[in-house]
Amino acid sequence: VPSTFEENLELSDFSSVHEFAVETARCKALEVWNRLKISKVKPDLIISADTVVYFAGEVFPKPRFKEKAVGILEKLSGQTHKVVTGVALVIVDYSKEEIEFEVKTFYEETEVEFCELSPEMIRTYVETNEPLDKAGGYAIQGVGGTFVQSIHGDYFNVVGFPLHKFCCEIYKLCSENLL
């Protein structure tokens, strides 16, 4: 169930990009929970994530226009940036008379180093339209992966979901009988 939360939080309202990503994921998860709790759908777990690309004090969201994608890629060219994904888990307990829920959150950070990108490389890539719906204006799992010189951390986090950390968190919750 996609969230309808308007992703309009300001980075400057948070002490770190990690808190920003986690809060966005939390708001998305709670928006879904608030809709589903009054519907016929009764989820035990709601999973939400928000991935941001961060460099030089700036968050690079999904560019909606080609010109914006070009500008982002020019800034990331030859640089190492961070990809931060905040994850929120809404765990619902139906065992009591009144439904209870708990929100667990975590984040993952991965460093990605880009090669130097020529204006022609950027222009050609942007013309594929691949960057237009990807945080930071590139898809590591697509053509944008050709720009990546090195990665330190979870590849799947850069794709958009920190699979390893998520599985560890789910295992922990199951071990604690919370799921």
Supply the mean pLDDT for the chain.
95
pLDDT at 41: 83
List active site positions: 50
User: What is the DSSP code string of the chain?
Assistant: ----------GGGSSSHHHHHHHHHHHHHHHHHHHHTTSS---SEEEEEEEEEEETTEEE---SSHHHHHHHHHHHTT-EEEEEEEEEEEEEE-SSSS-EEEEEEEEEEEEEEEPP--HHHHHHHHTTTGGGGSGGG--TTSGGGGGEEEEES-HHHHHT--HHHHHHHHHHHHHTT--
User: What is the DSSP code string of 64-95?
Assistant: SSHHHHHHHHHHHTT-EEEEEEEEEEEEEE-S
pLDDT digits (tens, 9 = 90+) for 33-85: 999 988 888 899 999 999 999 999 999 989 999 999 999 999 999 999 999 99
Q: For residue 88, what pLDDT band results from cuts at 50, 70 and 90? A: very high
Q: What is the CATH number of domain 11-176?
A: 3.90.950.10
> Is pLDDT at 94 greater than 90 in this prediction?
no
pLDDT at 158: 97
pLDDT at 97: 84
pLDDT digits (tens, 9 = 90+) for 95-136: 888 888 999 999 999 999 999 999 999 999 999 999 998 999
pLDDT at 117: 98
pLDDT at 172: 95
pLDDT at 137: 97
CA 143, chain centre distance (Å) = 19
**10 vs 69, which has greater pLDDT?**
69
**Neighbour tally for 77: CB within 10 Å:** 16
